[in-house]
Amino acid sequence: MIALVPVDGIDTKVFNFLKDSLKVRFEREIIIDSGVNPPTHAYNPKRSQYYATPIVKFISNSVKGYEKVLGVIDFDFWVPGLNFIFGEAEGIGGRVGIISLTRLRQEFYGLPPDTNLFYERALKEAVHELGHLYGLVHCENSKCVMHFSNSLRDTDYKDSHFCSECMEKLKQLCFKRR
Ligand SMILES: [Zn+2]
Ligand SMILES: [Zn+2]
């Protein structure tokens, strides 16, 4: 069972979309958790951003009892060495990951809203982080959902699906042991 955890209350529509799509991708029951508030110690006022690593740790400590947990947040976050990130996982094969919706909206870049594009991007980031949690590493294939997104252009270029090689690995890692 995979739990989606809203951090600080988010638009429920995007959760229902992710719930239905991820259920098919990972052949798991998806639960939308009641959610958590972001830990204030993770906020850096100088950067106006949250530090991703303590948020992952915080969710890991507060949300128990699920095979995998994906926090969904709607504020910008970063990790040292990168100006911002779209998502972060506890590690390859870890239990908890997070994605941020903030930079996935056209409005963030001063463009008119595009709901379908926004949902598609959210799905790609969610599948990518869950892929890590199920043991997949980054993929060289720029069309594969496991390709690292350095920018939104990379996210838009890649598919929301796994390439055949990653799919093979996922079958071994995710679908065999229940
Ligand atoms: Zn990644
Ligand atoms: Zn791949």
* Cβ atoms of residues 130 and 94 within 8 Å: no
Ligand 1 mean position, distance from CA 9 (Å): 25
The residue annotated as part of the active site, out of 67, 90, 129, 140, is: 129
Closest CA to 117 of 155, 70, 74: 155
Annotate 108-176 with DSSP letters as a single string. Answer: GGTPPP-HHHHHHHHHHHHHHHHHHHTT----S-TTSTTS--SSHHHHHHS-SS--HHHHHHHIIIIIS
Q: Which ligand does the CA of 131 lie closest to?
A: 1
129 is catalytic: yes
Q: Which ligand does the CA of 169 lie closest to?
A: 2
Which residues make up the environment of ion ligand 2, defined by Cβ < 5 Å? 139, 141, 144, 146, 163, 166
Quick: pLDDT tens for 85-141.
999 999 899 999 999 999 999 999 999 999 999 999 999 999 999 999 999 999 999
**Second-level CATH architecture of 2-137:** 3-Layer(aba) Sandwich (3.40)
Q: Domain limits of the chain?
A: 2-137
- Verdict on whether the full-model pTM lies above 0.85: yes
Quick: pLDDT tens for 2-32.
999 999 877 778 999 999 999 999 999 999 9
